[in-house]
Structure 1
């Protein structure tokens, strides 16, 4: 719900605000791509005006204080932030200016990639230079001109989509088109930090193709590559909850990051992974486990407690995977992290 506007504030007036959003095709695409915009401003009328202008371009959220805005940005990881440069000393915490907030956003691993546009009533070269040095990509001067605000925000949303596409291409496995190990390592660190901050359980599944070397020896490497592709597709279709990341971990091993993983979700996912791969009925004449390709799964869940929690959880998942193999393969074994 939008905040109620207070008394009229002249410097927040919007000039030429259109009745409908500009460029509907681009804005529809922005909404379909799931992009997010965060407004950080202590003035209710400014929030209301900017929210109206941004309608249809992205999912809009707002915060009325510095700390609230920083925490919300870490949770949402927005594509674009519209930030009031002129936040007064009464902001929370006292004395935190828009420049301070911008510096914190650009200095944090979770928020450094967002595009910050600063809104100010002090339009000068010195103000713009200070904003750019703090990490902003653009400065919007009051009084705000509706079409210009929309165009500049749309430009940043487009750049964010393009950057995300290039980033994704650089983090895809060449064989399976899943995320690669480098992306997994980065995302695992990000999720550990996020779940530690929110005090929420994070899950991890390690998946190993049973008897894969005999498969390659019996058939050939081309069919081995096809089998890995098929297993990867099966994992991708099984791990469909928001935020779940499937990656090729190493050779014939895969990894799945499972946000907000309860023990029940963890066990259910492990069973579905095994059933889905076995259900492909991909022949494997050299397997001692089944006449078709199967997988073993090791899972772990827990609330990351410190900077070393990620590695400890990874080690526990490896141990669970080894137990799965020693117990006969084609099964999922779960461990719970002791934090």
Structure 2
């Protein structure tokens, strides 16, 4: 029974995933206006009564209303099993700093979720045509030993094998390889996809530095940078200024962070312990070089928290343009490669047909 209940909650959390931005903004606006007159537990109970257990928001709210007192009023612990761990880390660090930082972090998370969702839609809109083109190319290649090559062999069945030219032999041999090893393609694609997903949050080292400049890993790094800057702003505005508070904020972010993010945080802490102060302590490769220079310049005229706000806003403006440009380049590159591949297959078949036709004429003239 408990397993079924947990499974239902996970399903409802999956349904609620794309509503997080609106929910964060709703909570931020409500808590700001209520000024302490309404608690999160009361909000959860009210949503459970309004939406009912058949909806994702109502079902999750009913569970949160029961769990919230058990966690001692820790909202990140209440949402831990249903919201992304990276967002729960932000909320945990913000709530420890007070009610106002929590409200600010909810507003920032709403904005970040909308930005990430727009980037995700942009990526799907750009990648989907390229993915379809790749599937068409793979389908045409797999169709060779199933349809085109058997049909050619049937049409020219009266021609002895010794009359086959080099082009025809190469095509038929390639079709045999495809027929024997086609199953390796989906296996390779699945393993490759798993490695890519695993590497995003786990791979560290010099090779990861190279990958961080490419499309998918760069996008992941930019998103994590934006979240990192958001929580630093919340904590520094609550606790004050200076390298001691910066170290405390970075230390708080280590809880629940991924292996990749923890590697950056540990290097930041090492730089602070070595005496590096200000924006230079964040120079671990998480921020682009130009963005780090911008942060350095802003800290000369403003506080570190205000400089982080301006840097995050600048990053958000750059992300959409950068992602749009890189996705367009990747899409056209893949489409061009697939078009060349399909054209090559068509010309190869045409050359084989012409080769076999000439060989058949030679055979008939000799007999």
TM tier, shorter chain? under 0.3
Name which one, 1 or 2, has greater alpha-carbon Rg. 2
Which one has a larger percent helix, Structure 1 or Structure 2?
Answer: 2
Which one has a larger percent strand, Structure 1 or Structure 2?
Answer: 1
- TM-score normalized by the length of structure 1: 0.27
- TM-score normalized by the length of structure 2: 0.25
